[in-house]
């Protein structure tokens, strides 16, 4: 039986800076409607009609041929600055106001976990990163982004550590929305939901206990900027990078940073990054999905290109050819 699950995800950059994070998500045009019992539906969802919606699928689904995620490692707690997007103190979704905690330390709750999968894979999360359902991540309504949290199944005692980088689930009886990999590790894929305990991890304490030091630099403890400036490029003290030489066509790869439902938004992101990166930026459009990709990049240039994207606010990318 399929039960309605509603969630909202935020586009990165200047695309929706006034939407979910600023509390202006429209109740008449939800950004996420997923299948009901909490997990994804057992079959791939049908493509969305050409109506300008953000996602290419109308409902969530299991991946068609998923890899074995049983050995995917836990997220590794580390000290990070608050994300520039997704951390406004309050926001509103469909008439409900939510409050973001100023600090995650000491947070511990029990509740129901659900998970999200194929529909959202490759799309921007609320803090502007790209959702990868095969990594250990999660969505939460009120924890600061990012937060590292231990999630323990109350049915079987299994435990995982996830990095919270998204908002949701906006369903009154749910505590956290897990990635496919995290849900698989906890054994809740088949049922779609499961009872869990969520405990925030203090990265400084975590590192200190393991003899790796826990002192944060001033930049790591700086408060998050207002959401309205989340993806606005700041003046850079770094000199503009020289244009990278074009790799041979056989070696060329592209680094995909976003898959958006707005052609205008994709073009704006393309224009912004074209002035910041030494590589080209293209938009590949397919129906209502507009993929922003950086390249071509040679294998020798990939590490540096990833670092440039990390500095630009895109730490997670996908390789495409």
**Where is the domain boundary, 203, 232, 261?**
232
> The CATH number of the domain where 268 resides is what?
3.30.70.1070
The whole-angstrom distance between residue 105's C-alpha and the CA centroid of its chain comes to 21
**Where is the domain boundary, 232, 255, 278?**
232
Average pLDDT of the chain, as a whole number: 73
Which strands make up the sheet holding 318-320, listed edge to edge? Answer: 281-286, 289-297, 253-260, 318-320
More confident residue, 8 or 193: 193
Q: Measured between alpha carbons, how far is 79 from 148 in angstroms, rounded to an integer?
A: 10
Question: What are the tens digits of pLDDT across the range 47-89?
Answer: 444 444 555 655 666 677 778 888 899 999 999 999 989 999 9
**149 φ, ψ (degrees, to nearest 5):** -140, 145
More confident residue, 312 or 292: 292
Q: Measured between alpha carbons, how far is 144 from 74 in angstroms, rounded to an integer?
A: 19
Residue 257, token pair as written in the block: 């940073």
Question: What are the tens digits of pLDDT across the range 138-195?
Answer: 999 999 999 999 999 999 999 999 999 999 998 878 999 999 999 999 999 989 999 9
Our CA angle for 284, 317, 143, nearest 5°, is 120
* Contact between residue 145 and residue 86 where contact means Cβ atoms under 8 Å apart: yes
pLDDT band of 228, cuts 50, 70, 90: very low
Q: Are residues 190 and 304 in the same domain?
A: no
Gyration radius from the chain CA atoms: 19
Residue 175, token pair as written in the block: 């505590």
pLDDT band of 252, cuts 50, 70, 90: confident
> The CATH number of the domain where 194 resides is what?
2.40.40.10
Q: Is the dihedral of CA 140, 143, 149, 153 positive or negative?
A: negative
Choose among 216, 151, 215: nearest CA to 185: 151
Q: Are residues 34 and 168 in the same domain?
A: yes
Q: Are residues 114 and 15 in the same domain?
A: yes
Q: Are residues 240 and 221 in the same domain?
A: no
The model scores a pTM over 0.85? no
Share of the chain above pLDDT 70, in %: 68
Q: Are residues 138 and 257 in the same domain?
A: no
- What are the CA-CA distances from residue 220 to residues 17, 125, 231, 238 (Å)? 22, 21, 18, 20
Total of domains in the chain: 2
At residue 50, the pLDDT reads: 42
Mean predicted confidence (pLDDT) in 281-291: 83
Q: Are residues 20 and 156 in the same domain?
A: yes
Q: Are residues 225 and 241 in the same domain?
A: no
Among 24-28, 39-43, 173-177, the range scoring the smallest mean pLDDT is 24-28
- What are the CA-CA distances from residue 186 to residues 127, 141, 193, 265 (Å)? 25, 21, 10, 37
Residue 294, token pair as written in the block: 């950086």
User: Which neighbouring-strand residues pair with 105?
Assistant: none
275 has pLDDT over 50:
yes
Residue 253, token pair as written in the block: 């790869």
112 has pLDDT over 90:
yes
**Where is the domain boundary, 166, 198, 232?**
232
Domain that holds residue 52: 1-232
**113 φ, ψ (degrees, to nearest 5):** -100, 140
Q: Is 137 left (phi over 0), alpha (psi -120 to 50) or beta?
A: beta
Buried b / exposed e along 220-235 (16+ C-beta atoms within 10 A): eeeebbebeebbeeee
Cis peptide before 296, with omega less than 30 degrees from 0? yes
The whole-angstrom distance between residue 100's C-alpha and the CA centroid of its chain comes to 17
User: Which neighbouring-strand residues pair with 108?
Assistant: 199
pLDDT band of 245, cuts 50, 70, 90: low
Question: What are the tens digits of pLDDT across the range 198-218?
Answer: 999 999 998 988 887 544 433
Among 53-62, 249-258, 276-285, the range scoring the smallest mean pLDDT is 53-62
């Amino acid at each position: 039986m399929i039960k309605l699950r509603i969630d909202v995800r935020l586009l990165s950059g200047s695309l929706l800076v006034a939407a979910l994070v600023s509390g202006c998500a429209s109740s008449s045009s939800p950004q996420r409607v997923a299948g009901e019992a909490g997990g994804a539906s057992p079959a791939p969802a049908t493509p969305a009609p050409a109506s300008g919606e953000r996602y290419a699928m109308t409902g969530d689904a299991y991946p068609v041929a998923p890899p074995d995620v049983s050995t995917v490692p836990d997220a590794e707690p580390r000290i990070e600055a608050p994300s520039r997007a997704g951390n406004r103190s309050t926001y509103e979704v469909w008439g409900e106001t939510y409050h973001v905690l100023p600090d995650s330390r000491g947070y511990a709750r029990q509740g129901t976990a659900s998970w999200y999968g194929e529909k959202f894979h490759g799309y921007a999360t609320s803090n502007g990163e790209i959702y990868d359902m095969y990594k250990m991540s999660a969505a939460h309504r009120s924890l600061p982004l990012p937060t590292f949290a231990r999630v323990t199944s109350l049915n079987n005692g299994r435990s995982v550590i996830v990095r919270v980088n998204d908002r949701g689930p906006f369903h009154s009886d749910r505590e956290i929305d897990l990635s496919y990999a995290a849900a698989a590790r906890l054994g809740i894929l088949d049922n779609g939901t499961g009872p869990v305990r969520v405990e925030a991890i203090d990265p400084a304490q975590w590192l200190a206990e393991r003899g790796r030091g826990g002192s944060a630099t001033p930049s790591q403890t700086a408060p998050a900027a207002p959401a309205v400036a989340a993806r606005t490029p700041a003046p850079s003290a770094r000199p503009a990078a020289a244009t990278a030489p074009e790799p041979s066509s056989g070696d060329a790869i592209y680094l995909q940073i976003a898959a958006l439902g707005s052609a205008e938004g994709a073009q704006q992101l393309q224009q912004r990054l074209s002035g910041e990166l030494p590589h080209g930026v293209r938009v590949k459009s397919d129906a209502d999905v507009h993929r922003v990709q950086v390249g071509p990049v040679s294998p020798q240039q990939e590490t540096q290109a990833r670092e440039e994207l990390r500095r630009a606010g895109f730490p997670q990318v996908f390789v495409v050819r």
